[in-house]
Chains A and B, each alone.
Chain A
Amino acid sequence: MKQNDNTDNSLVREISNEKYKYGFTTDVHTEIIERGLNEDVIRMISAKKGEPEWLLEFRLKAYNYWLTLEMPKWAHLDIPEIDYQNISYYADPTVKKDGPKSLDEIDPQLMSTFDKLGIPLEERLALSGGVAVDAVMDSVSVKTTFKKTLSEKGIIFCSISEAVREHPELVKQYLGSVVNYRDNFYAALNSAVFSDGSFVYIPKGVRCPMELSTYFRINAAGTGQFERTLIVADDDSYVSYLEGCTAPMRDENQLHAAIVEIVVLDRAEVKYSTVQNWYPGDENGKGGVYNFVTKRGHLRGVNSKLSWTQVETGSAITWKYPSCILSGDGSQGEFYSVALTNNYQQADTGTKMIHLGKNTSSTIISKGISAGHSQNSYRGLVKVGKNADGARNYSQCDSLLLGSNCGAHTFPYMDIQNETAVVEHEATTSKISEDQLFYCNQRGIPMEESIGLIVNGYAKEVLNKLPMEFAVEAQRLLAVSLENTIG
């Protein structure tokens, strides 16, 4: 078996040895404001971004509400006290006032960062057939590619600060309409200090010709990232949106509290895929990103559709529940998730499907994998309102345990108020099958690769939902994250 390790297995070896390969920092000139949070800081962020008065008011309202809240404690997570005054709420790697006008103007250091991240920027994109990318580094959107091609179709894809300037009426109409600033602790915090993020608007009847994609990266030390994404799909439109996240390796914990809002109108369809690979901390649980995210889609239109797909392998602590409010008649919500935790990672993730319209349906497929000393929980709500006749839900959440020091937990909630609803939930928890491992070993596949193979097979149902490029990356990620789990 030893020989095999060196030959066939080279890919897995190569990846395994890399450990967390995104752990570099880039020495880009970054403007970071003083640590701490108060009204002045919020005014300063707002002023730096040249925001209109209404947005500043929105931020201040959120801030004042946030002050009245306490950190939520209900999740199956052990979250250390977070000192919110010891975080810098704004880090701007671009400093140039007007932002880059062409590729040459971008700091070459920054460009090489994205090279390392493997983000296909404009040139490569032209060859590879097209993914429009918005790269958000330390909360500020650095560059959005392919804008022109998109704008010909009337599609708006830009940073949210640009959208505030260029399309204030759209932003004003939809911002905070799905995730209210009063929603929860982190949503309030984000609403107060969010610095950037992506804005997408797909006009009526337009099918977005390419995948839209945003890469998020925390670069500067001592900062938090608070981005905000807003996607509006007008009647009969379609868009597929991808999101990827990485962060440098640091001993301290960094906070990431984002909001994603999606509005889906009549017969529109949105696919939202995430590969979350924030720095998970080292093998002793030191460092890593706290990922406290509020993601929600509002299916307002009839026969609208929203599909969340997520592969969660990073972050020290994940607290994330991408949800669908199914208020349009005949709307469909989907949630596909693979959450993998290793070492001392903790994840409490799942979804909420809130059925309000008639004949709405939702599907939940969640696959949890825990290894090392990690704790991995699924928490999901299926709610069927009084008027949601004919609502249908199917949920399946499976957990796989690798090793005897980890935990896998399932906490589904069902709240049914309509007699015509059909709701099903199934969950299983088990260890990786000895028989399958033996079968692989018998055929000369070494242990580690066998595990990778079995885990990938187990997660296939979800990985299949990812767009092509992401599926490949996700498979590699699963292999890396599983390194040394069974020895």
Chain B
Amino acid sequence: MSVSDIYIDLFRNNRQTIDAGIAPVINGCRERALQALSEYGLPNKKLEEYLHFDAEQLFAPDWGMNLGRLKMAVDYTEAFRCNVPNLSTLLYYLAGDTLVQSESAARVQLDNGVLIGSLNSMAKDYPELVEKYYAGIANMERSGIASINTMFAQDGLFVYVPDGVVVEKPVQLVSLLQSKVDMMVNRRILVVLGNGAQLKLLLCDHSIESRNALSVQVVEAYVGSGASFSYYDLEETHTANHRINELFIEQQSDSNVELKTITLHNGKTRNTIFATLAGRGASLNVDGVAITDKQQQVDNYTYIDHKVSDCTSNELYKYVLDQESLGAFAGRVLVRQDAQRTAAHQTNRNICLTRTARMFTQPQLEIYADDVKCSHGATVGQLDEKALFYMQQRGISESEARTLLMLAFVDEVIGNVKLEPLRDRLRRLVEKRFRGELGHCEGCNICK
């Protein structure tokens, strides 16, 4: 029995429990997802896209799933450590897949028709709106992850920003894992930005217990013409936490999107981004940082589809790999025949600190249009010996010099975060990470 069959059986035997209390919009997509999963299965190493990450294997253990939606006792004040000083956000917590609003967010009156809330309750209150977008771009023929997520999806976050509305405060979503047993959590996020709308979304993944956990998250984001969307995804969990995150995004003309994925602490992580530039003049920036040690594994896969002409995409991923960790990056840029005057640039730079750390990189270009400017570059190397020597000569200890150089290396990504308080916070977190002080932040209850 293959792994996907186990989940198909589980799904069939518990269909009533899964559907209970969930909006018909969400329940209505399950059959289609089941079909896709039965046909294509879960991705494993036989697929080129999953060459270095066996997702099927991650699903194999006997994970507990909270299909009955029992209330979990999560004290979200414990997650204080993801507080960003000087940054006032609309703060929400996801305990498992259940949305909890922070007191501060509850006090803010959302106007101009902006909707932020639980996906399930929004799907009940605004069925037409959610139906229009839900499971629209999450291509299940293409991704077994989207299939399994849609099959079991019960809740998550829904954000809707109508045409021309600017959400000033960043929306921060803290996902927490807390359970006394090994758990798999299935979350779903849907973001819709109307024409000319603006939104900043900050996702933080944390875990409270050190049990094994697998979080499977699918994000769908629709970005209207001239809209602007920033998406920051920070993962800071621990080595028993595995995560599979898949982001599907579709951009209309002249829209502006910034995606940043930062992995500081994790077990095995796979981040997939499927971006489609569907309107002329759209621009996309995709960045990522991964800092790994022990037996951590980080695999970033991006697929940027230039469907129409005059779009721009820029990509920069940086990895620092220590001890026995494993990093993988694969990025594919597809420029279709009609996508003339495309500019697409992709860069992946990596530092391996030890012999046992391992890096795979596959920057790929697939180009069918002739009037394009495309490039990619990838390097794997070490810290610059000359720079190290220079600093030591000036009385900086070797370890300090190394830390400084590594900070400088990842700052190319961190440094261009537009939100200043967040940028400072990230710099601080990264510095702590390099100094091995992670899990000892001052603010948070568990670390005290």
Which residues of chain A have a CB within 8 Å of any CB of chain B? 74, 76, 384, 386, 399, 401-431
Contact = CB atoms under 8 A, between A and B. Distances in A.
Interface in B313-344: 337, 340
19 contacts: A399-B365, A401-B370, A406-B368, A406-B370, A409-B367, A410-B364, A415-B359, A416-B350, A417-B358, A419-B355, A420-B382, A424-B377, A426-B375, A427-B375, A427-B376, A428-B374, A429-B365, A429-B367, A430-B374
B85 interface: no
B372 A416 contact: no
A386 B357 CA distance: 9
Contact of B367 (A399, A405, A426): A399
A418 B355 contact: yes
B379 A423 contact: yes
A384 B369 CA distance: 34
Contact of A404 (B355, B362, B369, B376): B369
B352 interface: yes
Interface of B: 48, 337, 340, 350, 352-382
Contacts of B382: 419-420, 422
B373 A421 contact: no
B20 to A, nearest CB: 44
Nearest to B321: A419
A192 B226 CA distance: 62
A307 B242 CA distance: 44
Query: Would you list the 7 A-B pairs with minimal beta carbon distance, nearest first?
Result: A401-B370, A429-B374, A416-B380, A419-B352, A423-B380, A425-B378, A410-B365
Given A414-B361, A416-B380, A424-B379, 8 more contacts: A386-B356, A399-B367, A409-B365, A410-B364, A422-B379, A423-B379, A423-B380, A424-B381
A408 B342 CA distance: 14
B378 A414 contact: yes
A431 B376 contact: no
Contacts of A419: 352-355, 357, 382
Nearest to B363: A412
A357 to B, nearest CB: 15
A375 to B, nearest CB: 9
A422 B379 CA distance: 7
B54 to A, nearest CB: 16
B375 A402 contact: no
Contacts of B362: 411-414
Contacts of A405: 337
A408 B367 contact: yes
B364 A412 contact: yes
Contacts of A417: 355-358
A429 B355 contact: no
B224 to A, nearest CB: 30
Contacts of A410: 363-365, 376
Contacts of B367: 399, 401, 407-409, 429
A369 to B, nearest CB: 12
A241 to B, nearest CB: 32
Nearest to B366: A409
B387 to A, nearest CB: 15
Contact of A416 (B340, B358, B374): B358
A111 B54 CA distance: 58
Contacts of A74: 48
B371 A409 contact: no
Nearest to A376: B367
Contacts of B372: 401, 429-431
Contacts of B360: 413-416
Contact of B352 (A402, A403, A408, A416): A416
Contacts of A431: 370-372
A428 B363 contact: no
Contacts of B376: 410, 425-427
A409 B376 CA distance: 11
A397 to B, nearest CB: 9
A404 B370 CA distance: 5
A74 B47 CA distance: 10
Contacts of A430: 372-374
A429 B153 CA distance: 41
B352 A421 contact: yes
A411 B381 contact: no
Contacts of A420: 355, 382
Nearest to A399: B367
A412 B48 contact: no
A402 B370 CA distance: 7
Nearest to B346: A427
A412 B332 CA distance: 11
Nearest to A391: B380
A422 B375 contact: no
A414 to B, nearest CB: 4
B13 to A, nearest CB: 37
Nearest to A427: B376
Nearest to B377: A426
Chain A CB count within 10 A is highest, among B371, B373, B378, B382, for: B378
Given A405-B337, A421-B381, A414 B359 contact: yes
A410 B331 CA distance: 11
Given A409-B367, A416-B359, A420-B382, A425 B377 contact: yes
A402 B371 CA distance: 9
A284 to B, nearest CB: 20
B368 A407 contact: yes
B104 to A, nearest CB: 45
Contacts of B381: 421-424
A399 B376 CA distance: 12
B372 to A, nearest CB: 6
Given A408-B367, A412-B363, A425 B358 contact: no
Contacts of B357: 417, 419
Nearest to A418: B355
A412 B378 contact: yes
A408 B353 CA distance: 35
A422 B380 contact: yes
Nearest to B51: A413
Contacts of B378: 412, 414, 423-425
Contacts of B353: 419
Contacts of A402: 370
A415 B370 CA distance: 31
A232 to B, nearest CB: 33
A410 B361 CA distance: 13
A425 B379 contact: yes
B82 to A, nearest CB: 32
A386 B358 CA distance: 9
Contacts of A401: 367, 369-370, 372
Contacts of B371: 404, 431
B305 to A, nearest CB: 14
Given A412-B364, A414-B359, A421 B370 contact: no
Nearest to A396: B377
B293 to A, nearest CB: 13
A18 B6 CA distance: 64
A429 B210 CA distance: 47
Contact of B366 (A406, A407, A415, A424): A407
B181 to A, nearest CB: 36
Chain A CB count within 10 A is highest, among B340, B352, B367, B377, for: B367
Nearest to A384: B380
A412 B366 CA distance: 12
Chain A CB count within 10 A is highest, among B337, B354, B357, B370, for: B370
